[in-house]
Structure 1
Amino acid sequence: MIRAVVEQHAEDAAFLFTSRNAALEARYTRLEDLERLDERIAANLDGLRFAKHAGQRIARMALRGGDAGEVFAAAVLACESEKSGAVTRLFDEAPADALAEGLCGAVAWLPFGRQRAALRELRASSNTVARRAALVAQVAHRRDPENALLAGVLDDDPRIVATALRAIGELGRTDLVVILAAAMHGDDPEARFWAAWSAALLGEAIGSHVLRAIAEHGRARAEQAAEIAAMTLPPSEAVAFVEGLTRRADRRRAAIRGAAALGDPKLLPTLLEWLDQPALARPAADAITTITGLAITAELSVEPPSDDDDDDETIDPDDGLAWPDAPALRAACERSRASWPAGTRHVLGHRIERSSLVRALRLGRQPERVRAAFELARAGEPLIDVEAPSERQLRALAGRS
């Protein structure tokens, strides 16, 4: 085995894991994009496995000065190893600030049956990252953690608490809504959000109202809260909620995300009006695409405006989104306006119903897929993890039409 080849596998696996995480956050990523990334990650991990002990050693050596991607590659090999202590060694060797992301990514990636020994080791650990990773693994594979779930809610680590509260919704644990009710009135903003998210997913109206308050007050995760509130409030109340956000200049990004999630064409005139505002043009056009299915192709886009401040290092929240040609997009919407009656929710140009939601899961971009999975779960179907390895997602979608 040529050492340089194995080192390249370790480097590429780490880089691709980081790229995949970025793709999950990007608004233009589709399932087919994840498939391509996942195939490349799997191929590089296989290259490390083929090298056996040399592959494990090189992956661990890459931890020095590495990031979450290097932790991911080393943790995958450690978690599927039968050697006692292989996983706990990572806590001494991996960068502390990258350990949680890389280890949680590894246990979510690997098939559950190939990491049972490692999960027993993680569950028995006093390390908070280990306990969180064990919980993440079980939830990612839709295995009920049972007592570990309640222990997570009561943990001293706020990240474990938030993970456990989110898991209650992901696993459909309607018997634990009383725990969510208590957490929604707590002091920790992450715990409050995920408790409300889970409550809304499980059909509890209080969850939608707490999310509405989070969005209206501009608290942490306000834009994400606006999406879920718009999807789960009664239709007339949801429209009024989003319209209220549009009237506040500091809440308009949340309003755009709420409008996209609600999907009511009644909100299109406001979105079309905002195409003339540089700070809102791209997200507004993106929301129009989500509602109508009109993609911002070359015919409906323009060149980005010139940036006179080359030294500005501010992160662009709309990076990757096309700049819309406002007159062209307005004309396209006007031509097809009759296809989208106001008062009826739409996604990608189709009325929201089971078939259009499954279509969005298969063909939509990542934000649309997140919302479609949530809507289907609220209707009683198992929640599809749209961040899971694509092979697992495709299996889950195989029985849905």
Structure 2
Amino acid sequence: MLVATGKPKPEGAPELRRIVPDVVRQHAEQAAFFWAQRDTLMEDDPPDLHVVAGIDRRLEANLDGLRIAGPAAWPFIVAAYEDFPEKGELFLFTWMAIEQADKERISQAVEFGKVSNDNVRGSVGALAWHSPETIRPLVRDWIGAPDAFKRYLSVAACAGHGVDPKQMLARLVHDPDPRVRSHSLHLAGKLKRTDLVRDIVGRLEDEHEQPRTWAAWALTELGSGDLAMAELKRVVASGGPEALTALRAIVKIGPDKDVRAWMGGLLKAPETAALAVRGSGMLGDRTILHWLIHQMRNPALAVAAGGALLETFPEAREANLFTLDPTELGQAFEDHFGDFGARVPVADKVREWGHRDCSDKKC
């Protein structure tokens, strides 16, 4: 419970409230934990949106507790970040700074995000969690700022809310910073900005790989995928972090017969075989179940086959067909995964499920 002090506060000072410290500390710790958990779950392939929705409700309940505590929550938020400066704690710090419209804390949050490497997702997540109306003044201030990190945050915020920065986007796809260019190109594709096709085509020759990748992806969204095909196939062949994104773009623009033939070539090479297996789940072909079960027996392809299963057969998610301890599946799986646990489909369970639940369906 939070109890007001009843004491008058000096004019212009933030309103401080008497709180139960252990309760507010718990709100802060759980809010950081739940957002980090949510972010990790959203990176699953594919994510379980039902589970994510449950996490969202628990996260929002803890954020409500911090809203009620107001400025009195800051010592716990600061302590959480100092003790464990990870993405969840960065989300919490940034979210509260914006919630309180605290300019000094917002500046701190920006600096924390600037040096946080992968944890910058917390900064972006905080901007996405707030409403567009709340963050609009920040985005307007940052989108043309000399600081490349602020420009990046503004573009990421626009992408998170589906907001079109209008004429600014034509400048941002040519921004000096490659990360800003990449996210601006992604935003252009997401917003279907066909007026920028010529600019995006030019970025296929970008000196950095990530802008080239997102330029190619954007062109597929804008109906000009033929111009991007060579770059997309190169990204898939490289097996980098955007390989699945490029693969999905290729599947989208087809034609189906050509895509299947190309995937067949990927399947023959050990370094791209897993991508081919995962890509099979993007085709919407429910006749591949037995083929997928066969791939699940290969440790190097099992995770990809599991992702393909869940995309093709969403109902399989409720059937308890996966294990978090792949070493249970035999020595080959233990040798492949070692101490690094992974969520792996159990081929025999999938086969039994298929016989039981798919006998009257096209699968």
The two structures have a TM-score, normalised by structure 2, of 0.81
Structure with larger Rg: 2
Structure 2 counterpart SS, 1:62: helix
Long gaps (5+) in structure 2: 1-18
- The correspondence for 1:163, drawn from 175, 183, 186, is 183
Q: Say if 2:249 is the partner of 1:228.
A: yes
1:237 is matched with which residue?
258
Give the RMSD, CA atoms, in angstroms.
3.2
Please give the alpha-carbon distance, in whole angstroms, between the structure 2 residues aligned to 1:163 and 1:49: 31
Identity of aligned residues (%): 26
State the Cα deviation string for residues 205-225 of structure 1 (Å, max 9, x = none): 223443123223545532332
1:30 is matched with which residue?
48
Q: Say if 2:292 is the partner of 1:271.
A: yes
Deviation >6 Å, runs of 4+: 299-302
Between 1 and 2, higher relative CO (CA 8 Å, sep ≥ 6) is seen in 1
- Which runs of structure 2 are paired with 1:62-101 in the superposition (5 Å)? 62-65=80-83, 66-92=85-111, 96-97=115-116, 100-101=120-121
Please give the alpha-carbon distance, in whole angstroms, between the structure 1 residues aligned to 2:344 and 2:336: 19
Structure 1 counterpart SS, 2:316: coil
Moved more, 140-149 or 124-133: 124-133
Structure 2 counterpart SS, 1:140: helix
Please give the alpha-carbon distance, in whole angstroms, between the structure 1 residues aligned to 2:180 and 2:121: 13
1:304 is matched with which residue?
329
Kept after mapping to 1: 8 A contact 2:217/2:228: yes
Kept after mapping to 2: 8 A contact 1:228/1:261: no
Aligned residue-pair number: 337
Moved more, 140-149 or 37-46: 140-149
Superposition deviation, residue 339 in structure 1: 4.6
2:14 is matched with which residue?
none
1:3 is matched with which residue?
21
Aligned amino acid, residue 162 of structure 1: S
Please give the alpha-carbon distance, in whole angstroms, between the structure 1 residues aligned to 2:285 and 2:217: 22
Superposition deviation, residue 92 in structure 1: 4.5
Aligned amino acid, residue 181 of structure 1: V
Please give the alpha-carbon distance, in whole angstroms, between the structure 2 residues aligned to 1:101 and 1:166: 16
State the Cα deviation string for residues 72-98 of structure 1 (Å, max 9, x = none): 112112123334444113235668215
Change (3 A) 1:266 1:299: closer
State the Cα deviation string for residues 229-276 of structure 1 (Å, max 9, x = none): 123221111111111211222211110121111233575565343233
2:126 is matched with which residue?
106
Aligned amino acid, residue 304 of structure 1: L
Q: Say if 2:328 is the partner of 1:328.
A: no
2:13 is matched with which residue?
none
Moved more, 303-312 or 145-154: 303-312
- The correspondence for 1:216, drawn from 237, 245, 267, is 237
Change (3 A) 1:201 1:308: closer
Kept after mapping to 1: 8 A contact 2:170/2:196: no
Please give the alpha-carbon distance, in whole angstroms, between the structure 2 residues aligned to 1:84 and 1:249: 52
- Which runs of structure 2 are paired with 1:2-401 in the superposition (5 Å)? 2-27=20-45, 29-65=47-83, 66-92=85-111, 96-97=115-116, 100-123=120-143, 125-205=145-225, 206-218=227-239, 221-264=242-285, 270-292=291-313, 295=316, 297=319, 303-305=328-330, 312-313=338-339, 315=340, 319-325=342-348, 328=351, 332=355, 336=359, 339-340=361-362
Please give the alpha-carbon distance, in whole angstroms, between the structure 2 residues aligned to 1:292 and 1:86: 46
Superposition deviation, residue 154 in structure 1: 2.0
